[in-house]
C-alpha cells in the first residue's frame, strides 16, 4: 500500500515516516503545493494530510482533489479541537481524522480501518531486515533475491507479528486473532510455525519472551 504523508513538522514527519515504512511504501512531503504536484503525477492508496501546512493547506488540498473526483481515502491530522473544523473537513471529503497529539497505535488502527472500509490490497513488500522482505499478499519471504513460499497460516502469523512489531504478543492473543475456536492449535503447532519462520528470517528476528510470548524485533 502506498501512502502520501503531508506533515510540515520535520521531526514528527520523520517519526511517522519511519513508523509507516515498516509496513507501507511512504512518501513524505512538507507543504501542500508539493503534495499536489506529486499527486498529479503519481497514484496513492491513502493520503495522510496535516490540516495546517505551508502553501496549500490540507483542507484546501482535500477540496481540490475532490473537485476533480479523486476518491483516494484521506485521514486528516489536526491540532484543532473544535467541532466546526472537523465538520468542515468531513464536508469537503475527509474520510477520517486524528487529533494531535496522538499515539502511533491510534494511527495504525485508523489506517487498518480505512484499509478494510475501502478494501485496499496491501501488496507492499514489508522489510523484515535489510536483506529480507515479506510479501503478505502472496505468502512469500524474499531473501537474497530468492522467493520462498510459506504456508498461509505462517504468513498470517508473521503478518500479525509485523503489525505489532517490537511488542510482545502472548500465545493467547495470537490464537484468539488467527484461529477459530474449533481449530485451536496446540503449543507444538505454534512452535513449528516459529521454527519455520526463524529458519527463513533468522532466529534473532523473532524472540521468545519466557512466560509472555513472542516479539518481532526491528
The reported pLDDT for the residue numbered 195 is 94
Give the pLDDT band (50/70/90) at residue 107: very high
CATH number of the domain residue 45 falls in: 3.40.50.2300
Instruction: Tell me: do 99 and 134 sit in the same domain.
Output: no
Query: Which of 63, 58, 60 shows the shortest CA–CA distance to 47?
Result: 58
Instruction: Tell me: do 98 and 152 sit in the same domain.
Output: no
Tens of pLDDT, residues 19-59: 998 888 899 999 999 999 999 999 899 999 999 999 999 99
The reported pLDDT for the residue numbered 33 is 95
Residue 123 has pLDDT above 60, yes or no: no
Instruction: Tell me: do 59 and 30 sit in the same domain.
Output: yes
Dihedral of the CA atoms 106, 107, 110, 115 (nearest 10)?
A: -140
What predicted TM-score, i.e. pTM, was given to this entire model?
0.63
**Structural domain of 66:** 2-117
Instruction: Tell me: do 201 and 141 sit in the same domain.
Output: yes
Instruction: Tell me: do 104 and 11 sit in the same domain.
Output: yes
Instruction: Tell me: do 152 and 111 sit in the same domain.
Output: no
Instruction: Tell me: do 195 and 111 sit in the same domain.
Output: no
User: Given 81, 98, 117, which residue is the final one in a domain?
Assistant: 117
Residue 97: what are its φ and ψ, rounded to 5°? -145, 160
Instruction: Tell me: do 8 and 100 sit in the same domain.
Output: yes
Instruction: Tell me: do 88 and 143 sit in the same domain.
Output: no
User: Given 117, 146, 166, which residue is the final one in a domain?
Assistant: 117
**Bond into 101 cis (ω within 30):** yes
Instruction: Tell me: do 87 and 134 sit in the same domain.
Output: no
Residue 88 has pLDDT above 80, yes or no: yes
Helix axes 32-39, 58-67, angle to 10 degrees: 30
Amino acid at each position: 500500500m502506498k501512502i502520501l504523508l503531508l506533515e510540515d513538522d520535520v521531526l514528527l514527519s520523520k517519526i511517522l515516516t519511519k513508523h509507516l515504512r515498516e509496513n507501507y511504501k511512504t512518501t513524505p512531503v512538507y507543504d501542500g503545493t508539493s503534495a499536489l504536484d506529486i499527486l498529479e503525477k503519481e497514484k496513492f492508496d491513502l493520503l495522510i494530510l496535516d490540516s495546517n501546512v505551508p502553501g496549500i493547506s490540507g483542507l484546501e488540498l482535500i477540496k481540490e482533489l475532490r473537485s476533480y473526483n479523486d476518491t483516494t481515502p484521506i485521514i486528516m491530522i489536526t491540532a484543532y479541537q473544535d467541532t466546526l473544523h472537523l465538520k468542515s473537513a468531513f464536508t469537503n471529503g475527509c474520510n477520517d481524522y486524528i487529533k494531535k497529539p496522538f499515539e502511533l497505535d491510534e494511527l495504525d488502527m485508523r489506517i487498518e480501518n480505512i484499509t478494510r472500509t475501502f478494501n485496499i490490497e496491501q501488496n507492499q513488500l514489508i522489510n523484515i531486515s535489510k536483506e529480507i522482505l515479506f510479501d503478505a499478499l502472496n505468502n512469500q519471504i524474499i531473501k537474497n533475491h530468492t522467493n520462498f513460499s510459506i504456508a498461509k497460516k505462517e504468513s498470517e502469523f508473521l503478518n500479525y507479528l509485523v503489525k505489532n512489531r517490537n511488542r510482545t504478543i502472548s500465545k493467547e492473543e495470537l490464537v484468539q486473532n488467527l484461529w477459530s475456536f474449533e481449530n485451536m492449535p496446540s503449543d507444538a503447532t505454534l512452535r513449528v510455525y516459529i521454527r519455520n519462520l526463524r529458519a527463513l528470517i533468522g532466529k534473532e528476528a523473532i524472540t521468545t519472551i519466557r512466560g509472555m510470548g513472542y516479539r518481532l524485533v526491528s
